Amino acid sequence: MSDDKEQELEALQSIFMDDLLVRAAPSHYEIRIYPVPDGGEEVNLVGVVLEVRLTVLYPETAPELQLRPIKGISNKDSLDLLARVRAEAERSRGSPMIFTLTSVCKEWLDGRNEAQVEVARPASDLSLTESLHLQGDGTPVTPENYALWWAAFLKEKEPLTPIQNLEKLTGKVLFAAKQTPGLVPTAPPDPTATESAQAVDWSLFSEDDEALVAEDEIEDDLNEEDSEQVDFLELHGEL
């Protein structure tokens, strides 16, 4: 029986190396357990020590187990984990089980470590969408913060050439713009407006299209004030 305990201890020492401290071989030792072995403090934000005392009849009976938090774990959480480990020990009676018990600890620590990593992430690592989400549902949208968001959004997109003079557009161009994907806003949409201007990617049109455009020039120029309120579909319908 003692030989089996010694063999199990040797196997554990080859796995945990410096993280295993022998108190009284082969029946009393402590194992430091982290989510990422040899990962360092930056990676391992939580950790525990599992203290093991093998009984005379081990593994037919469960070992005596104690658990101490190293970092990132409250006493309440460590008691919860200890209950899980002891329950696993009862299920594993009859065969060597200490590595299995350390695996229970590691799996539990993995989940806590991921939660700690998310909390510890600097704000600069957050994506634009995540940053806006962290503002909370109750944050009002103002022209100022909306313009800041829109400027950041446009940096991720390929810019298109804006329409310079809406008054100069012909019916054919407006129809093509209506039917062709690729029209995107080139300025922040006004949250208070019901309609907004759009942009046309002129590279989509050939020289022949431009010649046809010249034949259909609008006779009546829209004044500047009206052009800001008329959308493409309504303008096209009047031609």
Q: What is the pLDDT of residue 196?
A: 46
pLDDT, tens only, 21-43: 999 999 999 999 999 988 888 89
List Cβ neighbours of 204 (8 Å cut-off, separation of 6 or more): 176, 180, 182
Say whether the peptide bond before residue 143 is cis (omega within 30 degrees of 0).
Answer: no
Q: What is the pLDDT of residue 215?
A: 54
Q: What is the pTM of this model?
A: 0.51
Task: Give the sign of the dihedral formed by CA 172, CA 162, CA 201, CA 144.
Answer: negative
Q: What is the pLDDT of residue 35?
A: 94
Q: What is the pLDDT of residue 133?
A: 46
DSSP class of residue 192 equals T
Q: Which residue has the tokens 């022949």?
A: 208
How far is the C-alpha of 128 from the C-alpha of 12, rounded, in Å?
A: 46
**Helix spans in the chain (H):** 2-16, 75-91, 98-120, 128-134, 143-155, 171-179, 207-215, 224-227, 232-238
Q: Which of 196, 199, 200, 236 is nearest to 218 (CA)?
A: 236
162 and 113 assigned to the same domain: no
For residue 139, the SS3 value is coil
Q: At what angle do helices 207-215 and 171-179 cross, to 10 degrees?
A: 130
15 and 100 assigned to the same domain: yes
**Residues of the domain holding 167:** 157-238
Is residue 152 included in any domain, yes or no?
no
Q: What is the pLDDT of residue 134?
A: 46
For residue 155, the SS3 value is helix
100 and 171 assigned to the same domain: no
Q: Which residue has the tokens 């020492």?
A: 13
Flag residues of the chain having pLDDT under 50: 123, 126, 128-129, 131-138, 172, 180-186, 195-197, 222, 225, 230, 233, 239
Q: Domain boundary residue among 62, 95, 120?
A: 120
CATH number reported for the structural domain that contains residue 107 in this entry: 3.10.110.10
Is residue 25 included in any domain, yes or no?
yes
